Homo-oligomer: A and B are copies of this chain.
C-alpha cells in the first residue's frame, strides 16, 4: 500500500505570476518513456531543441541549450560562466529579480555596481548609458520582465549602447519570453536566460539559454575538462576556471556539441517538456502568441479597471502577461486569495518585499492567456469583493474585458521569423 495518496492535484486555474497551467501537450510529452543520453534519437532531440529555442529567442546563436534546473539555474550558469572574480558588473534594478542578479553576480565574485529605480517603473536607457560611461563595467545584467512589479524593461536600444562601450549584455527573460517581444540578435544581446513556467507554458525545471559568439569565446577561454574523462587531446583555457562545475557552460556546450562529452545526465523528461513548449509556441507563431498575451492582458486590465480597482505601476511599461492590482483598503488581501483558491479553484498571486500586502498580481500566461480564463477570474473576483463589502462596479468587468479582448489594436509587428524558418529547414 502506498504511504500517501496517489497524486491527484486539484484542478486549479493558475492566474498568478507563474507557474501557470502547462499546455496539455507538454504534460503528455513528459509521460514519454526515457531513452539513453547518447542514443541517436536523444541527440537528435537535443539538436532539435537547440534549433527550436533559436526560434524562440530570435537568434542564430549556435550556443542555444538547456540548463537542467529552474530559471534561477539559468541565471546562475550565465553569470558564473561570464564573470571572473573582480569583474565589474552593472545591475540596474527595478524589482526583486534585479536584486537576484546582483546577489548572484556578487557570489560569483563580481564587483557589482547596482542602482535601483522605484518599483513600478523601468530604467531609462539614458540612465543605463550614463552608468556605463561612469563605471565601465564588463557586463550589464538586466531583467527584461520582473514579475515582482509587472514591469517590462525596454531592451531594444540597450544592446547598441553596450556595443558602443564594449560591454557584454545579458538579460533574464524568464517572465517575459513569448508574452512580449524579444529579438536577441537584432537587439544585440550576448546572453539570455529563460524558464518554461511562465508564457512558454511548461513546468519549472528547465532553463533555456542562448549565448553570442563573443560570450562563448569568453567562456571558452576558461575551458576546463574534468579528470576521469579528460584525454591528452583536451587543452584547457588560460583564464580562471569557472567556480561551478554544474554551471560551467563550456562543459555544457561540449555535452550538447558534436563531441558529446559527458557532463550531467540530461534531464530527458524536462527536455521533452522544453521541446514541446517551443514546438507549440512556434507552431502558433511568435507574433500570434504575443498578440494573444496582449489581448488577454489588456482584457484583464480593462476588467479590473472597470470594476473600479487601481492598477499598480507604469501601465505603459507593463508586461502583457501580468498585472498588479492594488488591494482595496479595508479588506484582507490574503483572505481573498484563499477564498479565490478554495471557492473557485483560482490562484492569483501575492507580492514580495515592499509590495507585500499591497497588491495582488494576476497573470495571463501561456496556456492560460485566454478569454475564458480572464472572464472567469474577473467574475470570481467581483463576487468575492462584493461579498467582502468592497464597492465595485457590479457587472462592468465582463463586458469591458470582452470588448477589449476583441478589439483590433493588438496586432504585433516586426517579429522576425527568420530563425524559425532556419530551424524548420534543419528539421
Contact = CB atoms under 8 A, between A and B. Distances in A.
Interface of A: 1-4, 7-12, 14, 16, 18-22, 27-39, 41, 45, 48, 51-52, 55, 68-73, 76, 80, 95-100, 102-104, 107-108, 148, 195, 197, 203-205, 226-229, 241-247, 262-270, 272-273, 275-276, 279, 282-283, 341, 347, 350, 352-353, 420, 423-424, 427
A12 B35 contact: yes
A203 B34 contact: yes
A8 B48 CA distance: 13
Copies of the protein in its oligomer:
2
A282 B3 contact: yes
Nearest to A349: B36
B267 A4 contact: no
A279 B2 CA distance: 6
B228 A267 contact: no
A347 to B, nearest CB: 5
B19 A268 contact: yes
Contact of A7 (B243, B264, B276): B276
A318 to B, nearest CB: 19
Given A16-B36, A241-B107, A246-B73, A27 B27 contact: no
A52 to B, nearest CB: 6
Contacts of A273: 269
A35 B265 CA distance: 27
Which residue among A16, A55, A70 has the maximum number of chain B CB atoms within 10 Å of its CB? Answer: A70
B268 A270 contact: no
Contact of A32 (B27, B36, B205, B282): B27
A41 to B, nearest CB: 6
A182 to B, nearest CB: 19
- Of all A-B residue pairs in the complex, the 6 with the closest CB atoms, nearest first, are A205-B267, A99-B228, A96-B228, A31-B31, A203-B269, A99-B227
A161 to B, nearest CB: 25
Nearest to A27: B31
Given A7-B272, A27-B32, 5 more contacts: A14-B36, A19-B265, A68-B70, A204-B267, A229-B353
A100 B1 CA distance: 38
A10 B44 CA distance: 12
Contacts of A267: 69-70, 203-205, 270
Nearest to A95: B228
Nearest to A8: B32
Given A245-B100, A267-B203, A21 B7 contact: no
Contacts of A31: 27-28, 30-31
A99 B148 CA distance: 41
Contact of A269 (B10, B269, B350): B269
25 contacts: A3-B427, A7-B29, A7-B272, A9-B41, A12-B33, A12-B35, A18-B265, A19-B36, A22-B34, A27-B31, A27-B269, A30-B30, A30-B31, A68-B70, A69-B73, A70-B266, A72-B246, A73-B246, A103-B226, A148-B228, A204-B267, A205-B267, A229-B352, A269-B270, A270-B270
